[in-house]
Amino acid sequence: MISLRKKEGESVNSFLRRFSKKVYQSGVLKEAKKNKFKRRASGDTQRKRSALYRLQKGKEMAKARKMGTL
């Protein structure tokens, strides 16, 4: 966490510049921007594809059992 105190006689502009410099150097802003567009672990379409794959494999296994090849 960044904490700064305004120096005596320091203008608001110079304090703001000093604060911005500290934030930039600490990397807080960079991390926030990186996490802004973070992807989800798995999307809806991926889950649907996975479910369809499992159903298809289940049917293939059932057919193989009936044929006696498994």
Q: Is residue 3 part of a domain?
A: no
Q: Which domain holds residue 61?
A: 12-35+44-67
User: 4-29 pLDDT, tens per residue?
Assistant: 899 999 999 999 999 999 999 998 88
User: How many domains are contained in the chain?
Assistant: 1
Q: Is residue 7 part of a domain?
A: no
Q: Is residue 18 part of a domain?
A: yes
How far apart are alpha carbons 54 and 60 in whole angstroms? Answer: 10
User: 24-68 pLDDT, tens per residue?
Assistant: 999 888 888 888 887 777 788 888 999 999 999 999 999 999 999
Q: Is residue 57 part of a domain?
A: yes
Q: Is residue 1 part of a domain?
A: no
Which pTM was predicted? 0.47
How far apart are alpha carbons 46 and 67 in whole angstroms? Answer: 32
